[in-house]
Structure 1
Amino acid sequence: MQLSAQRNASAATQRSSRASVVPMCSMRVTPFVARSSQNQLRSTFSSSTAGRQLQASAAPRTAARRSVRALAVRAEISYVMVKPDGVQRGLVGDIISRFERKGFKLVGLKLYQTPKDVAEEHYKELSSKPFYGKLVEYIVSGPVVAMVWEGSGVVASARKLIGATNPLAAEPGTIRGDFAIEVGRNIVHGSDSVENGERETALWFPEGVQSWDQTMTPWLKE
């Protein structure tokens, strides 16, 4: 009987030991402590004076790098406007098509009823001319189509596509040479310099222009 009691006690001890062991496959380790420590470290660092100073000093450098990258990759832009006579005569599609076929990228486009102050600012370099007032009234007389085109040498190329200011002197094949006969109704405007392209774009598109990838670019440039 003593031997039987010992066996029963041993069996009970083994069952108790097995019950207290949790199989490893049923355990899931979640690094709460590690994650909490990381969050605490971030919080402590960002709220400390040293952390704020480091973040503040890094911000200008980051902004400067972004600005340099933006300047490095920024393409030339030209502001092109179909004037009220061009819109009324239904020439908008043809004009856009000529720029597209040339290979330039359209990054800004809107139909716009020009406020008088915008027209005056746009033509401010002509403010001393006797025709200035009449020119402003003409531009605000109906909607215009304001556009920004982007590409290598777009300012000079756009001027060639548009033609001479006086349509009678414009070459056949140009927009003015094909569609206009008078200076006062010469259909379209194009920036006359890179600087004016930037200035006019900022004036007519204060909200900014679009940035997108043109898939045909590899077929235009080596």
Structure 2
Amino acid sequence: MHYDERTFVMVKPDGVQRGLIGEIISRFEDRGLKLVGAKALTLDEELASEHYSEHQGKDFFDDLIDFITSGPVFAMVWEGKDATRQVRRMVGATDPGEAAPGTIRGDYGLDLGRNVIHASDHEDEGANARETSVFFDDDELLNYEQATDKWRYE
């Protein structure tokens, strides 16, 4: 059973440094999403600028690039029914002060500039594919069935 809905997620340098990769992966797996791509890397300025291209020219762009290139990140692609919307709900509001308890940012984020995780926006259909392609080649994404798939979906 393969669902075409895939979504890009990245644990930011603060989340990596705080040792939250495993916790974040567990939350998505517990939800029933399937990990189809993952890699640890440190972004250079060119890759970071490509990833955050929609923010170029904004006042906070340089600070955003400085932060996201300050240490390793953990990039992932998750698959499942309505995956992008599910992930966004689990991640919570961009500002951790506004994120609900139980969301990743609500539980682990304390500051807008250190909000632990990035997730593609479900309202921008092109963002998911663009962000995924910035970090992953097609041959780096897996297509496989899990034995538990039949227990997740009708």
Alignment TM class, shorter chain as reference: over 0.9
Q: Match of 1:43? A: none
Map Cα deviations across residues 125-167 of structure 1 (whole Å, 9 max, x no partner). Answer: 0112101011011111100000000111111110000000000
Structure 1: give runs of 5+ residues left out of the alignment.
Answer: 1-72
Is this contact kept in 1: 2:3–2:80, CA < 8 A?
Answer: no
Distance, in Å, in 2 between the alignment partners of 1:175 and 1:96 is: 11
Q: List aligned pairs for 1:183-198, cutoff 5 A.
A: 183-193=112-122, 194-198=125-129
Contact residue 202 and residue 208 of structure 1 kept, 8 A: no
Aligned residue pairs: how many? Answer: 150
Match of 1:102 in 2: 31
Q: Does 1:221 align with 2:153?
A: yes
Determine helix, strand or coil for the equivalent of 1:211.
coil
Q: Which residue of 2 aligns with 1:201?
A: 132
| Aligned positions of 1:1-222 closer than 5 A | 75-193=4-122, 194-206=125-137, 207-222=139-154
Q: Is the 8 A contact 2:97 2:106 kept in 1?
A: yes
Q: Conserved in 2, the CA contact under 8 Å of 1:76 and 1:152? A: yes
Structure with bigger gyration radius = 1
Listed one character per residue, the Cα deviations across residues 88-128 of structure 1 (whole Å, up to 9, x for unaligned) are 00011100000000000100011111121111011110112
Once residues 169 and 87 of structure 1 are traced to their aligned partners in structure 2, the CA distance between those partners, rounded to angstroms, is: 22
Contact 2:84 2:121 in 1 (8 A): yes
Letter of the 1:142 counterpart: G
TM-score, length of structure 1 as denominator length:
0.66
Q: CA RMSD in A?
A: 1.1
Decide which structure has greater helix share.
1
Mapped partners of 1:98, 1:160: distance in 2: 12
Q: Distance in 1 between matches of 2:71 and 2:24?
A: 18
TM-score, reference length from structure 2:
0.94
The CA distance in 1 between the partners of 2:55 and 2:140, in whole Å, is 26
User: Identity of counterpart residues, as a percentage?
Assistant: 47
* Distance apart, 1:74 and its partner CA: 5.2
- Helix, strand or coil at the partner of 1:110: strand
CA–CA distance in 2 between the matches of 1:139 and 1:98?
Answer: 23
